[in-house]
């Protein structure tokens, strides 16, 4: 029979130290295995990477817009002498000449004094720093045509003043434009030129004016390779002459979303068509003009106003395609109706054509040269972005 050996105090200390070393080594091995199993995402906690501070939500933020209780696209435009735009043409260096109506000679500025008021709620006050907080560390990408480019530039102008000059940059890398808000935010706002969403011969960022547009209705992967890394995607699509072609392009886009978007990480928005105001007889029977010299919105006359520039068949196609998505949720931004009233907000003869400002002779012929498609900035696209901000803030709040 083996007799137990009694350890002396010195031996007991040595044994305890050995056991402690074994336990420490085993713990280290266990932690290493955990790190290997879970890869890199958890290493930031070991390096004490600071978490972003929580966003302060004011009482106005908490009690305002909720999409379950309020449709922000139903309401009215309210005149307000005290309603100043969030930026001016002079304060934002990122606007293109096509949208700077005041600088280009437009004599009135009343179109900047109208505020959109939803019927059943209030939009939260837009705060540039809070918008950047909501998308901190993320890529927000606007994808579409020249109207979408205006919405992108509007959003850049709405937030840029909150970013110190040394922490912001703006780059043109066709087919993209990229605004970076560095420092504490690490946010990029991007624009990607894809007027038909699917691939076409109009995809060149600067040389896209062609007499006959050819569109590959089932080809989208070339564009999608850039989109798939964005955290927030905001799409629009230029209206097709044939509704069937529009439907096929939308279905190609929807299939791409289902195959490539991670709904747990990414948010997708789709902007409905931006209305045109090409014929004044729509709101002023008997007249023969267009949006030129219009200084007030269309009066609703007790019912929603729809002009012929808004194709309700296309609207139905959009709703049908988005409604059939199964894995990815797309928030439909129905900006068409609220923008229909704003016949006063277009660039008319105070913009560009083919990259050049209109000549005096062209300006004297508004019936042939007035642009009743694009919008002055500051202007109507700021409201679209205000509503987008309300959705993003609500998503954060939830």
The catalytically annotated residue of 346, 374, 382, 386 is 374
The answer to whether 146 is a known catalytic residue is yes
Is residue 79 helix, strand or coil?
strand
Run of H or E including 193 = strand 187-193
Is residue 324 helix, strand or coil?
coil
- d(C-alpha 387, C-alpha 206), whole Å: 29
Neighbours of 22 (CB within 10 A): 10
The answer to whether 394 is a known catalytic residue is no
Tell me the Ramachandran region of residue 17: left when phi exceeds 0, alpha when psi lies from -120 to 50, beta otherwise: alpha
Tokens 């998308």 — which residue?
135
Q: CA angle at residue 226 from 222 to 232, to 5 degrees?
A: 135
The catalytically annotated residue of 61, 133, 145, 371 is 371
CA 372 to chain centroid = 23
The catalytically annotated residue of 146, 186, 208, 216 is 146
The answer to whether 371 is a known catalytic residue is yes
Tell me the C-alpha to C-alpha distance, in Å, between residue 19 and each of 4, 22, 25, 31, 168.
Answer: 19, 5, 10, 18, 56
Is residue 221 helix, strand or coil?
helix
Active-site amino acid positions: 146, 371, 374
């Amino acid at each position: 029979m083996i007799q137990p050996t009694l350890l002396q105090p010195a031996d007991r200390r040595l044994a305890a130290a050995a056991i402690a070393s074994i336990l420490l080594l085993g713990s280290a091995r266990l932690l290493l295995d955990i790190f290997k199993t879970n890869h890199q995402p958890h290493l930031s906690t070991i390096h004490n990477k600071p978490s972003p501070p929580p966003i302060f939500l004011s009482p106005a933020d908490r009690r305002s817009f909720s999409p379950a209780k309020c449709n922000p696209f139903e309401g009215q435009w309210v005149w307000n002498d005290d309603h100043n735009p969030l930026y001016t043409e002079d304060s934002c260096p990122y606007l293109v000449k096509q949208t700077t109506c005041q600088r280009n000679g437009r004599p009135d500025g009343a179109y900047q004094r109208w505020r959109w008021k939803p019927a059943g709620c209030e939009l939260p006050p837009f705060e540039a720093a809070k918008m950047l907080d909501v998308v901190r560390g993320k890529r927000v990408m606007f994808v579409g045509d020249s109207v979408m480019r205006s919405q992108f530039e509007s959003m850049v102008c709405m937030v840029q003043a909150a970013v110190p000059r040394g922490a912001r940059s703006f780059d043109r890398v066709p087919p993209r434009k990229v605004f970076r808000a560095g420092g504490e935010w690490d946010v990029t706002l991007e624009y990607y030129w894809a007027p038909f969403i699917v691939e076409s011969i109009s995809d060149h960022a600067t040389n896209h004016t062609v007499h006959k547009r050819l569109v590959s209705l089932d080809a989208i992967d070339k564009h999608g390779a850039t989109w798939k890394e964005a955290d927030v995607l905001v799409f629009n699509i230029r209206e097709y002459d044939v509704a069937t072609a529009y439907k096929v392009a939308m279905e190609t886009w929807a299939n791409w979303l289902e195959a490539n978007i991670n709904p747990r990480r990414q948010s997708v928005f789709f902007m409905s068509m931006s209305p045109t105001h090409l014929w004044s007889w729509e709101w002023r029977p008997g007249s023969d003009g267009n949006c030129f010299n219009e200084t007030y919105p269309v009066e609703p006359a007790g019912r929603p106003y729809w002009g012929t520039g808004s194709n309700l068949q296309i609207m139905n196609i959009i709703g049908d395609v988005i409604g059939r998505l199964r894995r990815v949720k797309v928030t439909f931004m129905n900006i068409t109706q609220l923008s229909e009233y704003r016949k006063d907000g277009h660039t008319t003869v105070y913009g560009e054509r083919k990259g050049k400002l209109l000549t005096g002779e062209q300006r004297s012929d508004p019936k042939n040269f007035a642009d009743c498609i694009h919008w002055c900035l500051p202007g109507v696209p700021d409201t679209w972005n205000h509503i987008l901000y309300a959705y993003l803030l609500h998503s954060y709040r939830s």
